[in-house]
Structure 1
Amino acid sequence: MDFREIFFSPAVNFLKPIRLTVLPNLGCDDDDWQHATPYPAIDSVVLVMHDKNNCSVVEKSSGARATLVLALNLAHLFQASSYEKHLYRIRCGWWGAEENSMLGSYHHVNEANITIVEGNRLKDYVLVLNFDMLASFNFYCGTYEPTSLPDKISSKVKNASDRISQLFRHWFDKEGLPWDNSSPILSDYVPFLFADVPCGGIFSGAGSIKTLEQRNRYDIMLGHGYGGI
C-alpha cells in the first residue's frame, strides 16, 4: 500500500458516466437500501470518515472536506484502465454529535450490528480510517497509537490497528515529515474499536501547545517558522 498526495480540483470532467447509488430517505432504514440500485454487494467494507461539527468551520470541518477530496480522487482512480480491481468497497461517512458522546457513530455501529443487508453488516467491515481535524492552527502530524488501548479492546484489534498506523508513520518518514503518536480514545472510531473493527487515522492536534522538543523537531524538518507554539 502507498499514499499519494491529493490535489484539490474545483471542477471535474469524466469521460464516462459514473454510476451512482440513489437511496430513498437518505438510507435511514434498512428497507431504503432494499430499494436502491447499487453495484452487487460485496463482503468487505472500508470506512473513511470524520465527525462533522457545527463550530469552527475551518478547523473542525477540515477532516470532512479532506474525505470529500479523497472520494473525488478515488472516483478518478476507479475510472483508470490501469487500476487493479479489488474486492473491497470504500464507504465515506460523516457522523453527527461527535462531541456529544459520539452519538452518531455509536448509532451507526448499533444499526450495523442488527442489519441483515450484506455489505452493511458490522461483520463486513474490514477497517475504519478516521480523519479528524486536519487543519488545527498549531498542528502536529498525529497518528493513532493503539498499543495503549483499554484491555476491553482485543489484542487482535490492537495489532491490526497498529499495522494501519505503521503505514502512516512509514509514509511520513519516507516524505521526511515529522509525526507524533496521538491518543487513541478521542473520536468517532471509538465505537468501532469496541465492536472489534481495527481502526487507524491521522489527527492534527486541536491546537494544543507543543512541547519544546516538538517545536524544535518540526522547525528543523518543516523549515524555520513552522515549529508552532
Structure 2
Amino acid sequence: MRSLRTPVLSAVATAALVAGALVGGTPPAVAAPSPDLSIANVTAHLQQLQSIATANGGNRATGRPGYKASLDWVRARLDAVGYTTQVQQLSTSSGTSYNLVADWPGGDPEHVVMTGAHLDSVAAGPGINDNGTGSAAVLEAALAWAASGNTPRNHLRFAWWGAEEQGLLGSNHYMRTLPAADKDRIELYMNFDMVGSPNPGYFVYDDNLAGNGARDAMTAYYTSKGIAWEYIDVQGRSDHASFRSQGIATTGMYSGGETTKTAAQASKWGGTAGRAFDPCYHRACDTTANVDTTALDRNLDMIGHMVWLHADKDYGATTPPPTTPPAGTNLLVNPGFESGASGWSGTSGAITSSASRPARTGTWKAWLGGNGRTTSENVSQQVSIPASATAASLAYWLRTDTAESGSTAYDTLKVQVISAGTTTTLRTFSNVGAGAGYAQFSHSLLAYRGKTVTVRFLMSEDASLQTSFVLDDTSVTTS
C-alpha cells in the first residue's frame, strides 16, 4: 500500500452496528454458498514471492529484477490455465515497471468485473503482506475460477499493478491509456491491498462515491460469518483511486498497516492493542513470517465470494457513456473542504476546522505548514479534464502567514499538476512577500484536456521559523 503519514478514517461501523445487522437489520442478501479457496495454495504463492525476493536483493520493488520475476511467475500460472494475458510497460523514476492484466474468456464484454492488487514491494523488503497477500489471494481466486467450470454472466478481468508504491503509477497508466468505451464497460473494480496483516483488522473501503452496492455485499458477507468490520476511507492510498476518479464503482478490503490498533479494536478482533496492525509495514521484516493465516484465510474466501457473486450479477442494460459536465461545473470534490478530507488525499490532519487559522468561507480549510520544524505536507485530488474543453482553469484562495523575515525563501508551497508520471509546478509561493488575508490565484489546465491529472499543493518547511499556507475555495472549471 502506498505510504502516507496516517490513513484517514471515515466514520467507523462499531460492534453495535454489526450486532444490529445480525439481529434487527436487513443486510443485503448473501448469494449461494461461496467457494472455499485454498489457504494452502495461497501460502505456497507467498513462499514463491519470498523466494523471488530473496534471490533478487531482498525485494520486489519497481525497477528491480525481483518485480519483473514476480510478474513473469504470476503470468505463467495464468497462461497455463487459459487466461488471455497482457503485459503493459511504463516508465517511472525508479525504472521500468509493468502491469499484468488477465481476461477470462467469455462473459458479456459489455459488463466487465475487475479484481486487482498491486504486485510491487518497496525497496526495503520483500513485501509479503504489502502486497504479496493481496496479489496471491487475487491469483488464487483467478486460478480457482478457471478450475470451477463456471460460465460467468459478466466478463471477468484480473490485474496486478506495478509501481503502486511510487504513487499508483501502474493503475493510473492503465486507466489513462484505456479507451473511453472500454472504461464505460467496467461495472466494478475490487481492490485488495494487504489482507493478511499480523495484528489484523477488517476494514472495508467506504469512500462515499460509487460502489456502495458492492461495499454492502462485502460487509454482508463478513456479518454472515460473524466477523466484525469497520469502514475506512482509504482515499488515494491504493489503486482503486484510479478507477474511482473515472466514476467507476469500487470497493475493497484492508487488514491494516502502520497505524495502531486500539483497545476497542483488539477487543473486537483479538490481537494486541497499542501495536501497529502491521509492525513490519514497508520494512525488511515483511516476510512470510509477517502474515496472520487466519485473517488471510477469511479474506481469501471473502474475495472468492465477491468474484463469484459479481461474475453472475445482473447489471441490466448497458450504462450509457457519462456526459460531459456542463461548462462552469466545479470538477473537484469537496472544493471548500467543508466535508473534511472527503475527496482529497495527502497528509492526515492538514484539512482542519481549527480556529487558529481562519477559513476564507465556512469553517474548514487546508492548513499546510505552521510547524516551525522540517516538514513536508500536501493535499491532492485527481480530476479529469474533458477532451471537449475549450478552456480549463485551476483556481484557489491562499493566505500566507510567516514568522520568517528577509528575502530568503525558507518555506515554500508548490502548486503542481501530475500527469503521466510527470510533475509540473505551476507556481511556487514562499515566506517572502507573505501578506495579510486571502488572495485568489488561477492557472490554465487546457494543456491537460482529455487527461486525468492530479492537482497537488505541496508544502516544504525548514527547521527554523514557521510559515503557514492556508488554502480554501478551490476549483477546476472548464468551458
TM-score, normalised by the number of residues in structure 1: 0.72
Q: Which residue of 2 aligns with 1:75?
A: 146
- Answer yes or no: is the 8 Å Cα contact 1:137–1:207 preserved in 2: no
Q: Aligned equivalents of 1:52 and 1:201: distance in 2?
A: 16
What's the counterpart of residue 137 of structure 2? 66
What amino acid does structure 2 have at the position aligned with 1:136? S
Name the structure 2 match of 1:5.
36
Q: Secondary structure at the match of 1:215?
A: helix
Q: 1:75 to 1:52 in 2, by over 3 A?
A: same
For 1:68 and 1:97, locate their aligned partners in 2 and report how far apart those are by CA, in whole Å.
18
Point out where structure 2 has 5 or more consecutive residues left out of the alignment.
1-29, 45-79, 90-104, 276-479
Distance in 2 (CA, whole Å) between partners of 1:102 and 1:48 is 16
Q: 1:107 deviation in Å?
A: 0.4
CA shift in 2, pair 1:70/1:101, >3 Å: same
Question: Max radius of gyration: which structure?
Answer: 2
Q: Is the 8 A contact 1:51 1:63 kept in 2?
A: yes
Contact 2:113 2:188 in 1 (8 A): yes
Match of 1:183 in 2: 233
| Separation in 2, partners of 1:139, 1:40 | 35
1:103 partnered with 2:183: no
1:104 and 1:193 map into 2 onto residues whose CA distance is 15
Give the corresponding residue for 1:43: 110
Query: In structure 2, how many angstroms separate the alpha carbons of the residues matched to 1:98 and 1:204?
Result: 18
Cα deviation code 1:120-153 (max 9, x no counterpart): x111111100011112222211101122xxxxxx
**Equivalent of 2:252 in 201, 206, 224:** 201
How many residues matched? 187
Q: Which has the higher contact order (CA 8 A, sep 6+)?
A: 1
C-alpha distance in 2 between matches for 1:134 and 1:104: 20
Amino acid at match of 1:127: L
Question: Greater share of strand residues, 1 or 2?
Answer: 2
Question: Where in structure 2 are the equivalents of 1:19-30 lying within 5 Å?
Answer: 19-21=82-84, 26=87
Partner of 1:171: 221
State the one-letter code of the partner of 2:159: G
Q: Deviations over 1:1-57 (max 9, x none)?
A: 53443114659xxxxx9544366xx366xxxxxxxxx65972121111001122443
Q: Percent identity?
A: 23
CA distance in 2, matches of 1:140, 1:18: 33
For residues 142-181 of structure 1, the C-alpha deviation after alignment (integer angstroms, 9 at most, x for no partner) is 101122xxxxxxxxxx2x4111111111111110112111
RMSD: 2.6
- String of CA shifts for 1:173-223, please: whole Å, max 9, x gaps: 11011211122312001010010100011111114211111111113xxxx
How far apart, in 2, do the equivalents of 1:128 and 1:51 lie?
13
Q: Aligned with 1:133: secondary structure?
A: coil
2:266 counterpart residue number:
215
Report the structure, 1 or 2, having the larger helix content: 1
TM-score (norm 2): 0.36
Letter matched to residue 269 of structure 2: Y
Q: Which residue type is aligned with residue 260 of structure 2?
A: I
Relative to structure 1, the CA distance from residue 86 to residue 68 in structure 2 (aligned partners, 3 Å threshold; closer, same or farther) is closer
Q: Write the letter of the residue equivalent to 1:21.
A: T
